[in-house]
A and B are shown apart, each in its own frame.
Chain A
């Protein structure tokens, strides 16, 4: 044995049980726990936000998955419908008469028109399609479910009320100011405001009583910056003032104390505490009576909205569906895949396996990475300038959409493919080269199959991004209004899911609010399916070595 020179540091044994050591251990545990906490907190935060997003979409969108329909009993008179050309009959008239038949007491053009507003204006087409599909039903009494129009759909689902507040908070505030001045009273069921008016002889002789009343009323609102308060004074105030002057002609030229009525909404607000008015989406109060009658007769139901998936777009939300958008997106993605998958993989293989490492390949590499960071709207402009203007490809067509999207997907696929190729262990390459495989044999027979799961995952993630991309499609006009799915093709005008969402979100009809959320849910559903495919493919093709 050799001698070991013992130094002090070696001989002094470390005391693992000392307080300092215990403190160190404790603080190490605390740090471990803290790090874990940060991670859990970050994930929890993300989960909460995601939960809120999905919940709010479901909450707003679930109503769009059912449609309020009314059962229409129609006698398909063979005199009106020629069995040889069933599509040519006047279905508008047939539907109209069938529906008016439910309410024989409703007379008069205006009333009938209001009544007919209950059912969707697409009802005649639905009946026509039904008869064309079932020509043997001609001459019989059939029951057809037709959607009700959007306001009644929303009403039945409880999304919109029959009555809404007549006055905004601002107006109620203004009125509160007046009430606090103690000039309001309702002596005989009508609220009046007691005010002092100067009966200017000139104006009286000109008959400008409303000007006189407004002038005097203004005194209650010395600070008012706008004239919104004018509407508080009733429309008949001027007439009341005129009657007062006619009853007291000697007051002309003097200042008089008069009580003038205020307008209906403010009258209601003062006497009952709330001012309601019929929802302006409905034409008259009678429509509620009629609609309630349909409900009590069990003619109204809310089946699942298959139309959401099988109808094309429409201006009427109860008829609008995603068929056009889904097919447009599918075609654009197909074009995108066919372009970006082979090109991306070929580019990645060349750069990763064959290209010499020099300045030029470095520049190319940097630019590919930069390409992934270019805002998508720029690609849209590029598509507009090059594909539409230079190449003269058709506007709004999925082929152009797919080409623009493939510009965005390419860098994602190239980067993912290169990472997947890099991850293949060098031992496999050596093994292949060692038995005398050439470079392309090594890549095609061994490296590529092993990299495939990663490549496919990257590709699907790229395509999923492309599926949700809106801006470039808007720029090349792929937000066309597609009311029919008959003319679908890669060269035909089309729309896509995100642009459809964009268009619906922009529409004023109340039904499009829920349709928009529903469309977003459908889009998210497609994304979830694509990600599931990516996971499946990865597990299916993953091989151990």
Chain B
């Protein structure tokens, strides 16, 4: 892109104004705003002072070596870290300007609004239909049976799976291939009509063809959803994301437009990682 000064070091949050100045193509509203996020697992600190703004309707890729804190950060966004007894999160994370860590926030509702897709496809050992219908069912999103069918069909269609499974919606979800299972999980995540979808290395257990399909899907989904994706594949980050954030040893080292991060990283560590010196 035109301006190469877009990357910033950790600790300096980007405002929407700045963002538009740096990267006009990315001049979206800020969907998620994190300030001074720190995570401790017991005595061990896993995340240090992360300030990151995530724009709406974009794909942001979180990259970095294993154990750098990118998954930990992502799990803060739907408060999945709450399920770990010893995890402690400080700082503020706002989605649409609302602090998701304040007391009155209902975690269950938050997780419906911030869907998640995991590293290993993990469909419920139930039918394909029930897999997708489960979220809407527990949140009461469908008033009738036909509503529910509509939601399921729509979600499966959006996930690009409907044509492959339309004849066997009652077949067990675990009987699908790995790539299909992962798309089923995406369908399940979007069935609750979330605004944000978190993807934790969604293609690491898939073959290249299934990976390509998922990446295509991510590209389509970004029109309606804000997508945060953790990946170990630099090529994948380059292919699917508009923004990239590089984490190292618990610090957010650099964040910026994907093109800029991969072609002209500002930080030595980023450059080393991208060129394969470590990781």
Interface mask (B97-108 → A, CB under 8 Å = 1, otherwise 0): 000000000001
A225 within 8 A of B: no
Interchain CA distance A431-B124 in the complex, whole Å: 8
A450 part of interface (Cβ distance < 8 Å): yes
Q: Is the CB of B83 within 8 A of A356?
A: no
In the bound assembly, the distance between CA atoms of A468 and B108 in angstroms comes to 47
Evaluate contact between A427 and B83: CB separation under 8 angstroms: no
Query: B residues within 8 A CB of A254?
Result: none
What string of 1s and 0s marks CB contacts (under 8 Å) between A221-232 and chain B?
000000000000
**Min distance, Cβ B95 to any Cβ of chain A, angstroms:** 14
Are A433 and B80 CB-contacts (below 8 A) given A438-B108, A544-B174?
yes
- Sort chain A's interface into a size bin: 20 to 34
Report how far A432 CA is from B123 CA in the complex, Å: 9
Q: How far is it, in angstroms, between the C-alpha of A445 and the C-alpha of B112 when the chains are bound?
A: 17
Smallest Cβ distance from A39 to chain B, in angstroms? 34
A356 CA to B192 CA, complexed, in Å: 30
Contact of A436 among B118, B139, B174 (CB under 8 A): B139
B109: which A residues are within 8 A, CB to CB? 436
Within 8 Å by CB of A434, from B85, B111, B125, B139, lies: B111
Nearest-neighbour CB distance to chain B for A160, whole angstroms, equals 62
Whose C-beta in chain A lies nearest to the C-beta of B118?
A: A430
Contact status A427-B122, CB under 8 Å = yes
Q: Which residues of B contact A545 (CB under 8 A)?
A: 122-125, 174
Q: CB distance A430 to B108 under 8 Å?
A: no
Contact check, A427 vs B118: say whether CB atoms are below 8 A apart.
yes
Residue B65 is within 8 A (CB to CB) of chain A in the complex: no
Given A427-B120, A434-B80, A436-B112; A357-B134 close (CB under 8 Å): no
Cβ A446 vs Cβ B124 within 8 A = yes
0/1 per residue, B175-215, Cβ < 8 Å to A?
Answer: 00000000001001101100000000000000000000000
Interface residue? B143 (CB, 8 A)? no
Question: Does any Cβ of A come within 8 Å of B116's Cβ?
Answer: yes
Contact between chains at A430 and B192 (CB < 8 Å): no
User: Which A residue's beta carbon lies closest to that of B136?
Assistant: A435
Q: Is the interface of B mostly helix, strand, loop or mixed?
A: helix
Report B-chain residues with C-beta under 8 Å of the C-beta of A450. Answer: 125
CB distance from B198 to the nearest CB of A (A): 8
Residues from chain B with Cβ under 8 Å of A338 in the complex: none
Given A430-B80, A431-B185, check contact A437 B108 (CB 8 Å): yes
CB pair B134–A445 under 8 Å, yes or no, is: yes
Interface residues of A in 78-133 (CB under 8 A from B): none
Beta-carbon nearest neighbor of A436 in chain B: B112
Cα–Cα distance between A430 and B123 once the two chains are bound (Å): 10
B78 at the interface (CB under 8 A from A): yes
Known: A357-B85, A430-B118, A545-B174. A435 touches B135 (CB 8 A): yes
Q: By the criterion CB–CB under 8 Å, are A435 and B125 in contact?
A: no
Interface residues of A in 408-450 (CB under 8 A from B): 425, 427-438, 441, 445-446, 450
A433 touches B85 (CB 8 A): no
Q: How far is A502 from B252 in the complex, measured between Cα atoms in Å?
A: 74
Please tell me if the beta carbons of A431 and B122 are within 8 angstroms of each other in the complex. yes
> Do the beta carbons of A435 and B115 come within 8 Å of each other?
yes
Docked-complex contact A428 and B111, CB < 8 angstroms: no
What residues on A are CB-neighbors of B135 within 8 Å?
Answer: 435-436
The answer to the question of A540 belonging to the interface, with a C-beta cut-off of 8 Å to chain B, is no
> Lowest 10 A-B CB distances belong to which pairs?
A436-B112, A427-B122, A435-B135, A434-B116, A436-B111, A543-B125, A431-B122, A545-B125, A438-B108, A436-B108
30 residue pairs A–B, Cβ–Cβ below 8 Å: A356-B85, A425-B122, A427-B120, A428-B124, A430-B80, A430-B83, A430-B116, A431-B122, A431-B123, A433-B83, A433-B111, A434-B111, A434-B115, A434-B117, A435-B135, A435-B189, A436-B110, A436-B112, A436-B113, A436-B135, A436-B138, A436-B139, A437-B108, A437-B138, A438-B138, A441-B138, A445-B134, A450-B125, A543-B125, A545-B125
Other than A429-B83, A434-B117, give 8 A-B pairs with Cβ distance below 8 A: A428-B124, A430-B83, A431-B118, A432-B134, A435-B135, A435-B188, A437-B134, A545-B125
